[in-house]
Amino acid sequence: MMQPTEHQQSAKMSELASLRATLDDMSSKLDATTQAQLQMARQRALSEGLNAKPIKTYTLAMAASIALVLTLSWLTWAPDPEAPQQPDASALLQNIELLTSEEEFEMLQDLEFYQWLDNQQLLSEDENEANT
């Protein structure tokens, strides 16, 4: 929030003084009964303002604490939407068997074919996911 400049403050003070002078002039023209009623209303408003209970700061602090705890718990326990999935043990075992087999040399000779085949499978999986 911007602080008013000294010029703005002095302009407001002069407006307030002018308004006060106008109201004082108008109230001096009122009869005694009306002036007494106005004075009683002023006193009543001032006493009610002094007796009004202010907002408890601990209530606001408690609400802020609850909001903080809820936010932190949500951030802590919320699952990561892009968490990588761990491969199952059977797939790892198949990979190990494939690497230790005698056909390993043939596979290395046709490595480009296997890479192409793997890319084709990934593309078909992506298309299936896009269609669902």
Name the residue ranges covered by the structural domains of the chain. 10-75, 90-131
Dihedral, 51, 55, 56, 61 alpha carbons, nearest 10: -170
**What tokens does 52 get?**
């009004």
Query: What is the rounded average pLDDT of the residues 84-94?
Result: 72
Higher pLDDT, 116 or 58: 116
CA 22 – CA 42 distance, rounded (Å): 17
Query: What is the rounded average pLDDT of the residues 12-28?
Result: 87
Q: Which of 16-25, 34-43, 53-62, 94-103 has the lowest mean pLDDT?
A: 94-103
Q: Confidence band (pLDDT; 50, 70, 90) for 67?
A: very high
**Quick check: 34 pLDDT over 80?**
yes
Name the amino acid, one letter, at 39. Q
Which pLDDT belongs to residue 110? 75
